[in-house]
Amino acid sequence: MTATLVEIRDAIRSRRTGAREWVEQAIAAIERLEPQLRALVSYDADRARKLAREVDERIARSQEVGPLAGAPLLVKDNICTRFGPTTCASKILENFQAPYDAHVVERLEAAGAIILGKTNLDEFAMGGSTENSAMGPTRNPWALDRVPGGSSGGSAAAVAAGMVPAALGSDTGGSIRQPASFCGITGLKPTYGRVSRYGLVAYGSSLDQIGPFARNVRDAALLLEIIAGHDSRDSTSVNSPVPRYTAALDTPLDGVRIGYAEEYFGEGLDPEVRQAVEAALDVYRSAGATVVPIHLPHTKYCIACYYLVATAEASSNLARYDGVHYGHRTAAPEDYIDVYCASRQEGFGPEVRRRIMLGTYALSSGYYDAYYLKALKVRTLIKQDFEQAFGQVDVIACPTAPTPPWVIGEKINDPLAMYLMDVYTVSANLAGIPGISIPCGFSGAGLPIGLQLLGPHFAEERLLRIAHEYQRHTDWHTRAPQIAAG
């Protein structure tokens, strides 16, 4: 499937094609590609066909349909749906059936979108490669021996391979933007509070945010229009109007100031990534933007700060999976304590257990002040860095990831090396600001490279407009992996 979300929407609404035609294309692509990519945890073709027939019947009767009527989509499997399981790619939730739909699922279905299934992820969204999945790793459609990024690697791989035109993921420390970079597509992390977290299985509650994957900025903007907005069931959801993001995309770029922080271009950055990002800045200069040097002095503390805050919140959030309330329960416990210990040992994978232990340690008596409380203070300084920078510039440009996608298995036994791959993305989650990754080139080995743009709180309209301007002048986002062509 090569059509964009906007093209599919327009074709269905104008009756040039029916919803069933697009759903059948998506099903055919999934059945052809899934054995190679392993991008999905579950999908339901019969349900999708039924919903597509209903859309076509409503259009035939000239009844009103939603803005995404008939568009086939996928959602990450840590987003609750009443249809199909919600596993978080974990054995501990292997058979869990959510009793309600997440807010974003309600929004998509109210708009007429057809959700075909749920995508693979690092277990409980903890990882940067989609290798930490109880369902097995997802593969990158550009090179099947490479990771697709994580934790939303299944969603990114499915969009890049042409299974669907768009999908939803979640981003706690880069889990939308990094796989978007690795798979050569567009991925947006909205401002914290812009999209309701109701029905998103919690990892780091003060960091998590749901956002869209798409092939281009216009599709991502359309999807954000649908899922953004206030939800009283999420106490962190912000009650402010949702702009028509698609309407502002073609505003001229004159006068835009783009920040260039040296802290994002230092040690550890692959030369090919640096070259691609700096070439992207030249495109912006040619389009009328000004590139301004800025400083984010606390950037060097971001990884340490993030992995204290995130693991502490994970320790708290995952305490509920205890073998008693729901989820996996060990078969033959010796006593009540063994119910907890054995159920969690059997149900959680090694990376989840590692992060729970790190977080529990940081929150424990005698260490809380030294680690967790200090991390919260550093988080405030990181946020202040961005506030000062956005007093000088409209957005900040930097790499999304320090390297192109690596070979599957290359870093799985080196957690610190894996954590360092988040060096350019975690700061946005700590500060609560929006960020977007768009394709800006390829390595010599033909692997995608992503440009990241960061903006002030609730500046998605500006961020999308500036990202779209780049895609007006380049064609990186139009390229697709060979596997997508069949």
133 is catalytic: no
Supply the pLDDT for residue 163.
Answer: 98
**Residues in a beta bridge with 211:** 169
Which residues does 244 contact at the CB level (< 8 Å), separation at least 6? 225
Q: What is the SS3 assignment for 454? A: strand
Which residues does 255 contact at the CB level (< 8 Å), separation at least 6? 288, 290
Which residues does 293 contact at the CB level (< 8 Å), separation at least 6? 259, 260, 261, 262
* The one-letter amino acid at 459: A
β-strands 114-119, 72-76 pairing: parallel
Report the alpha-carbon angle 155-414-272, nearest 5. Answer: 65
Choosing from 129, 175, 427, 437, which is the catalytic residue? Answer: 175
Supply the pLDDT for residue 440.
Answer: 98
Choosing from 90, 129, 151, 155, which is the catalytic residue? Answer: 151
Supply the pLDDT for residue 332.
Answer: 87
Report residue 369 as tokens: 């002040």
Q: Are residues 118 and 77 in contact, defined by beta-carbon separation less than 8 angstroms?
A: yes
CATH code for the structural domain at 5-259+390-485: 3.90.1300.10
76 is catalytic: yes
Q: How far is CA 24 from CA 44, 79, 268, 320, in A?
A: 12, 24, 44, 40
* CA separation for the pair 211, 223 (Å, rounded): 8
pTM above 0.75, yes or no: yes
Q: Are residues 242 and 225 in contact, defined by beta-carbon separation less than 8 angstroms?
A: yes
Residues of the chain with pLDDT under 50: none
* CA separation for the pair 221, 219 (Å, rounded): 5
Alpha helices in 228-373 (DSSP H): 271-286, 302-317, 336-347, 350-363
Q: Where are the domains of the chain?
A: 5-259+390-485
Choosing from 76, 118, 189, 411, which is the catalytic residue? Answer: 76
For 66-76, the pLDDT digits (tens) are 999 999 999 99
Query: CA end-to-end span of the chain, whole Å?
Result: 10
Backbone phi and psi for residue 167, each to the nearest 5 degrees, phi listed first: -160, 165
Report the alpha-carbon angle 472-478-482, nearest 5. Answer: 165
* CA separation for the pair 69, 23 (Å, rounded): 11
